[in-house]
Amino acid sequence: MDIHEYQAKELLSGFGVPIQRGLVAYTPDQAVYCATELGGWHWAVKAQIHSGARGKAGGIKLCETYHDVHSAAASLFGKRLATTQTGPEGKVVERVYIEVAEKFEREIYLGIVLDRKTERVRVIVSAQGGMEIEEVAHTHPEAILQTIVEPAVGLQPFQARELAFGLGLNIKQVSRAVAAIMGAYRAFRDLDATMVEINPLVVTADDRVIALDAKVTFDDNGLFRHSHVSEMRDASQEDPRESEAAQFGLNYVGLDGDIGCIINGAGLAMATMDTIKYAGGEPANFLDVGGGASPERVAAAFRLVLSDTNVSAILVNIFAGINRCDWVAEGVVQAAKNLRVPLVVRLAGTNVEEGRRIIRESGLPIIAAETLLEAAQKAVEASKAHRASKSK
């Protein structure tokens, strides 16, 4: 789960990460009121969407008067902001963050991520803050400093100091940078995050170190422990199909292809998507119906897949262990009665013969397959035939 910048800063400040004073606004008039409450003579009006690189997309505006604040906010509200991370479709701005703006001398990158390869937490810093870390890693890999956290003891102050000194900070700045790094790590650890990114972490002329931007991503599986975090979810920033999938206990990620996938098990789903690619097709989604694929859940999965207008065929691939093939078959038959695209079904595992009998005797034009490769090939062929028939 992602949250907005102002929410991330609120959480991080509770762990000792220094931030600028700011307030969130939902109308241009409220933005002006926030600026008056904050005081000062310069403000940053920041579009709040679940994406980085907002500045390059025109989502951050610096203002010197209340009139500028009103105009900046009015130009952002309702705007579909497209960044390098959102893709061309962009995301709609429904709130802005008004923050006191002041000059700074340096920008630093700070990121804390879960490294699944090493099964450790990795802390990454770079003196080239304000840039996307992928770009820095590609063009100036020597500018990136990293340390691995030993899970038994957590991030140690000496590790944070080594990173801070490696950035070329002076003594005062080092102590404050260490406080920010340690605070960000504690937030990562205590809130079950999968990523904490502060870009940039700026250094001011009077040696203060401030988080100018912040992004935090959480492990959905840990949200039950953090109700105050789960309440920060903004469904308007998420794919509505993914939000609906969560209500039924389904794991759904929309993709750009045209073959809809309904599968049980994340590993089998990945293998199925790879096999579709191998057969010359493109998967339209990742969808894992989980271990308890009841007929109702399978029917919900069909509705989700069919909500994508690009889908020209559906592949159902179920290997039943906890699931039962006859349950899945009942759901497939229920959902396929008014299906507008070809359907390929491959069943294996518990009660497979009963499941295949239900499919066979349904009287519906369901394409059966014995193996994964056969199912993928038939789905690709059916998709091409369906698209060809529509183009006539």
The pLDDT value recorded for residue 251 is 82
Catalytic: 197? yes
Q: Give the C-alpha separation, 191 to 185, whole Å.
A: 10
pLDDT digits 0-9 by tens, 123-158:
999 988 776 777 777 787 888 899 999 999 999 999
Q: Which of 254, 255, 327, 260 is nearest to 291 (CA)?
A: 327
CATH of residue 142's domain is 3.30.470.20
CATH number of residue 87's parent domain: 3.30.1490.20
The string of pLDDT tens digits covering residues 295-308 is 677 778 888 888 88
- Considering the domain architecture, whether residues 345 and 366 belong to the same structural domain is answered as yes
135 labelled catalytic: no
Same domain, 185 and 284: no
In a shared domain, residues 308 and 225: no
**Long-range CB contacts (< 8 A, 24+ apart) of 145-154?**
146/122, 147/122, 147/123, 148/115, 148/118, 148/120, 148/121, 148/122, 148/123, 149/120, 149/121, 149/122, 149/123, 149/185, 150/120, 151/120, 151/121, 154/185, 154/189
Please tell me whether residues 384 and 257 are part of one structural domain. yes
Residue 233 has φ and ψ, to the nearest 5°, of -60, 135
How far is CA 43 from its chain centroid? 29
Q: Which domain holds residue 213?
A: 1-19+103-237
Q: Which of 220, 237, 254 is the last residue of a domain?
A: 237
User: Is residue 215 a known part of a binding site?
Assistant: no
Domain check: are 85 and 123 in the same one?
A: no
Residue of 6, 97, 185, 197 with catalytic role: 197
302 or 48: whose pLDDT is higher? 48
Residue 291's pLDDT band, with cuts at 50, 70 and 90, is low
Task: Give the per-residue pLDDT at 203.
Answer: 94
**Given the residues 97, 109, 185, 252, the one annotated as active site:** 109
For the ranges 91-100, 235-244, 350-359, the lowest mean pLDDT is seen at 235-244
Q: Which of 86, 101, 116 is the last residue of a domain?
A: 101
Please give the average per-residue pLDDT across 48-62, as a whole number: 88
Rounded Cα–Cα distance for residues 317 and 367 (Å) = 12
251 labelled binding-site residue? no
Q: What is the DSSP letter of 42?
A: -
The verdict on whether residue 132 carries a ligand-binding annotation is no
Region 207-233: mean pLDDT is 92
Phi, psi of 201 (to 5 degrees): -95, 110
* 41 and 138 part of one domain: no
Flag whether pLDDT at 65 surpasses 80.
yes
- Segment 92-107 mean pLDDT: 93
Q: What's the pLDDT band for 233 if we cut at 50, 70, 90?
A: confident
Residue 119 sits in the same domain as residue 97: no
Q: Are 84 and 134 in a shared domain?
A: no
Domains in the chain, number: 3
97: closest CA among 14, 211, 173, 204? Answer: 211
**CA count, 13 A, side-chain hemisphere, 372:** 17
The predicted pLDDT at position 297 comes to 75
Residue 24, SS3 per DSSP: strand
What is the rounded average pLDDT of the residues 240-256? 76
pLDDT in tens, 341-377: 999 999 888 888 888 898 888 888 889 898 999 999 9
Annotated binding residue at 213?
yes
Q: Look at residue 322 in the predicted model and tell me its pLDDT.
A: 66
The verdict on 196 and 264 lying in the same domain is no
The pLDDT of residue 381? 93
Q: CB-based contacts of 227: which residues, under 8 Å, 6+ apart?
A: none
Q: Which long-range contacts link 216-219 to residues 24+ away (Cβ below 8 Å)?
A: 216/2, 216/3, 216/7, 216/8, 216/11, 216/12, 216/187, 216/191, 217/1, 217/2, 217/193, 218/1, 218/2, 218/3, 218/191, 218/192, 218/193, 218/194, 219/192, 219/193, 219/194
> What average pLDDT does range 99-128 have in this prediction?
92
State whether 277 and 362 are in the same domain. Answer: yes
| 87 vs 302, higher pLDDT | 302
Contact 252, 283 (CB under 8 A): no
Q: Is 102 annotated as a binding residue?
A: yes
Enumerate residues 6+ apart whose C-beta is below 8 A from 275. Answer: 372, 373, 375, 376
Here the CATH number for the domain that contains residue 253 is 3.40.50.261
User: 377 and 280, same structural domain?
Assistant: yes
Residues 13 and 26 in one domain: no
Asked which of 196, 215, 237 is the last residue of a domain, the reply is 237
Read off the pLDDT of residues 144-195 as tens digits, 9 standing for 90 and up.
899 999 999 999 999 999 999 999 999 999 999 999 999 999 999 999 999 9
